[in-house]
Chain A
Amino acid sequence: MGPVLAGVLQLLALIGALALAYIPLGNYMARVYSSDKHLRVEKWIYKGIGADPNTEMRWPAYLRSVLAFSAVGVLFLYLLQRLQGILPGSLGFSSVNPAQSFNTAVSFVTNTNWQSYYGEQTMGHVVQTAGLAVQNFVSAAVGIAVAVALVRGFARSRTGELGNFWADLVRGTIRILVPLSVVAALVLVACGAIQNFSGIHEVGQFMGGHQQWNGGAVASQEAIKEVGTNGGGYFNANSAHPFENPTPFTNLFEIFLLLVIPFALTRTFGVMVGSIKQGYAILATMATIWLGFVALMMWTEFAHHGPALQAAGGAMEGKETRIGVGASSIFAVSTTLTSTGAVDSFHSSFTGLGGGITILGMQLGEIAPGGTGSGLYGMLIMAVIAVFIAGLMVGRTPEYLGKKIGTREMKLAACYILITPALVLIFAAASMALPTPPHSMLNSGAHGFSEVLYAFTSAANNNGSAFAGLNANTDWFNTMTGLAMVLGRFLPMVFVLALAGSLAEQKPVPVTVGTLRTEKPLFTGLLVGAILIITGLTYFPALALGPLAEGLAS
């Protein structure tokens, strides 16, 4: 069997596994966010928080809770790193400097997991497990909560109430993320991922002498890193490191983990709005884009254009032998089309076009299938835009799921889709225009520009992967990517929740013969088209200077 066929078979196996999980997980998540019952452990937690989980919140209250919880999260994680030097259980590692602490705190709270530090030499047990891994859970739960609030906006009428943030946060963590992560972590350990608290210790070598290892709670962090589409690795090499991703099977398993919640949430959406078919239409849109990108990536990586890859006879630079080109391509596309940003191979050494595909994947807004929660709400915003475009064509007030898309709704959707590109392009342009930031580039020419474009695309879209040659541990990049992450996470949430509030207040519009049938394949086609055209028009000039220039030259 050739590597191409093996790659295709792995893709098919992955699709099969995702299909099997889709209905049970999607239905389960719908029950989690619709049930009136509280588990006993949840009641204890609500008591600890001092919040009544049954109080309904309107959108401003929901938003304030999201922001308060996230602000506290940033501050806590910042202090944890700044105090590392005096905390016990920190392996004797010193405190992290202010700019990097700010960047890392923001990065993990926004579900980005951009890392300007080397995990194995910077973060001790306490920061890794009680700081970073905690945000892996709760930032993912916040994302799902906001998505569920938007879905409630569509599902509810004549109210304005979107649910209770604390209940959504706690349920997402306790009922979805923790159980999935426990199972996933144990599967990873069974295959060789490490899980211990040995700290730094010496291990003998074949040729004599010793090597020093940093042993920690890797598997438990790896599991939630994928399940919560976070992506921040315990080690610098992330999921390319054999202790994080030991075998070909774990590699495929990790791809499954990072895709399973985002895809299944479309089922949750369908169930909650009372039309499974609407969920399928959104799923079909996500799956079409994801499959198309995987096919393109496999094609360009197996073709291995580019002088260095041609000289080597294959695109193996930055890729692991056990994983190979095919599975690395699937991972790279899946991690950039979700907001994960974990890597099992290093995107900077991909072909020029392959690197471009990873950048474009993030620039779509990470909606195919996107991050936990953020993928669904991002895609629903695009659906609103698509029905608006369709409405313009036939001269009819657009509707989606029985709700009118009026001026206010369109303004909010338009703000949503403008904010991230504005952040990416302004920060990237400023970095190129100023005298010192370009010194951070490792490679020269088009690829050097791609490194900077990648950095801000990744930060503003809350992805977290990198063209890692860029030295991002400078005051400029730590601060600016930090700002891009905060604004790229929370401004869109403001617009999403405001939109949810305004939808929930409406009374439903009856379906007539003139209603655009948004559960049909025609709408899926329209939606895919709208996404590609809007992203293409926004980013084409920037892409032409970077990855396209590199890809077409080779």
Chain B
Amino acid sequence: MNNSVSNTARLLWAGLRALLVLTLVTGVIYPLVVTGIAQGIFPGKANGSEIKSNGQVVGSSLIGQSYNLPLKKGQETPDPDLKWFQGRPQNGLGANSINTQYKLILSGATNLSADSKVLVQQVKDAKAAVIKDNSVPGYTVEASQVPADAVTSSGSGLDPDISPAYADLQVHRIAEKNGLSVAQVQKLVDEHTDGRTLGFIGEPTVNVLELNIALKSLVTKS
């Protein structure tokens, strides 16, 4: 009995030493070396691909933002600022629930099921809003034109992109609200449309933040 206890203790001791040594290798040296190389070769990317507009950091090209008007009195959800291109719905995003000294955004999805009544309502409401917001005099949006990404929340809630179809849909509205010609705005969208990587990887995208930055400089110039 004594023998088996001391054997077990010896084995656990070996296990602990193994864990500590491997922690040093994989938990200290490995991340530090990778960080060192990453910061040396790709500092911009390693630090979050921040982008600037007029010399000010306005976010990351990888992280989606909202383009809303300030909250009005008594309002719970702000209205979108229709001057700017809008991203996808972000119903999956959460707010800090612990360690609340910070105001962190919690990435995430809605996790609502394909047969969820709540999700059906969210999609219908979003579709109605997209049609209403983007139909301007002389240009009416049909329900069949609204792509799926315009009315669904992404996996991260931070999707920086929209589909080219959703960007195209917003062109007339953006032109009207900013006093630009449709052709000018369409050209801007086309310039900011990325095809699939190597022609087949992923899906074509339009980065909303980059597009809005370009739009801002176009508006300022004209």
Residues of chain A whose beta carbon lies under 8 Å from any beta carbon of chain B: 1, 3, 5-6, 9-10, 13, 45, 48-51, 64-65, 68-73, 76, 91-94, 118, 120-122, 129-131, 133-134, 137-138, 166, 169-170, 173-174, 177-178, 181-182, 185-186, 189-198, 200, 203-207, 211-215, 217, 219-221, 223-224, 235-237, 240-243, 246-249, 251-252, 304-309, 311-324, 327, 343-346, 348-352, 355, 442-443, 445-447, 450, 467-469, 550, 553-554
| B112/A317 in contact, CB under 8 A | yes
B27 partner residues in chain A, CB cutoff 8 A: 129-131, 133-134
Those of B61-83 within 8 Å (CB) of chain A: 62-68, 81
A219 partner residues in chain B, CB cutoff 8 A: 34, 38, 46
| B26/A134 in contact, CB under 8 A | yes
Could you list 7 A-B pairs, sorted by A, with CB under 8 Å? A118-B97, A237-B158, A243-B62, A314-B149, A321-B161, A447-B115, A550-B114
| Total chain B interface residues with beta-carbon distance under 8 A | 107
| B33/A242 in contact, CB under 8 A | no
B201 partner residues in chain A, CB cutoff 8 A: 6, 10, 13, 248-249, 251-252, 327
| B148/A251 in contact, CB under 8 A | no
The smallest beta-carbon distance between B88 and chain A, in angstroms, is 7
A189 partner residues in chain B, CB cutoff 8 A: 34, 38, 41-42, 45-46
B81 partner residues in chain A, CB cutoff 8 A: 207
B16 partner residues in chain A, CB cutoff 8 A: 72, 76
A138 partner residues in chain B, CB cutoff 8 A: 19, 22, 26
The smallest beta-carbon distance between A196 and chain B, in angstroms, is 5
| B154/A240 in contact, CB under 8 A | yes
CA A311 to CA B203, docked complex, whole Å: 21
The smallest beta-carbon distance between B64 and chain A, in angstroms, is 8
The smallest beta-carbon distance between A5 and chain B, in angstroms, is 8
Instruction: Give B19-40 as 1s and 0s: 1 = Cβ < 8 Å from A's Cβ atoms.
Output: 1111101111011011101110
The smallest beta-carbon distance between A194 and chain B, in angstroms, is 5
| B115/A553 in contact, CB under 8 A | yes
CA A344 to CA B203, docked complex, whole Å: 14
| A3/B156 in contact, CB under 8 A | no
| B88/A321 in contact, CB under 8 A | yes
CA A219 to CA B48, docked complex, whole Å: 11
| Cβ-neighbour of A211 out of B59, B120, B202 (below 8 A) | B59
Does chain A have a CB within 8 A of B183?
Answer: no
- A130-B28 CB under 8 A given contacts A196-B39, A246-B62, A316-B148: yes
| Cβ-neighbour of B65 out of A174, A211, A224, A469 (below 8 A) | A211
| B196/A6 in contact, CB under 8 A | yes
Residues of chain B whose beta carbon lies under 8 Å from any beta carbon of chain A: 8, 11-23, 25-28, 30-31, 33-35, 37-39, 41-42, 45-50, 53, 56-60, 62-68, 81, 84, 88, 92, 94, 96-99, 101-116, 119-120, 122-124, 127, 144, 146-149, 151-163, 196-197, 199-203, 205, 209, 212-213
| B115/A320 in contact, CB under 8 A | no
- A215-B114 CB under 8 A given contacts A130-B27, A251-B202: no
| Cβ-neighbour of B48 out of A70, A203, A237, A307 (below 8 A) | A203
4 A-B pairs with least C-beta separation: A248-B202, A306-B114, A314-B148, A240-B155
| Cβ-neighbour of A129 out of B17, B31, B66, B200 (below 8 A) | B31
> In this complex, what residue of A is CB-closest to B57?
A204
| B25/A192 in contact, CB under 8 A | no
A10 partner residues in chain B, CB cutoff 8 A: 200-202
CA A550 to CA B159, docked complex, whole Å: 28
A251 partner residues in chain B, CB cutoff 8 A: 201-202
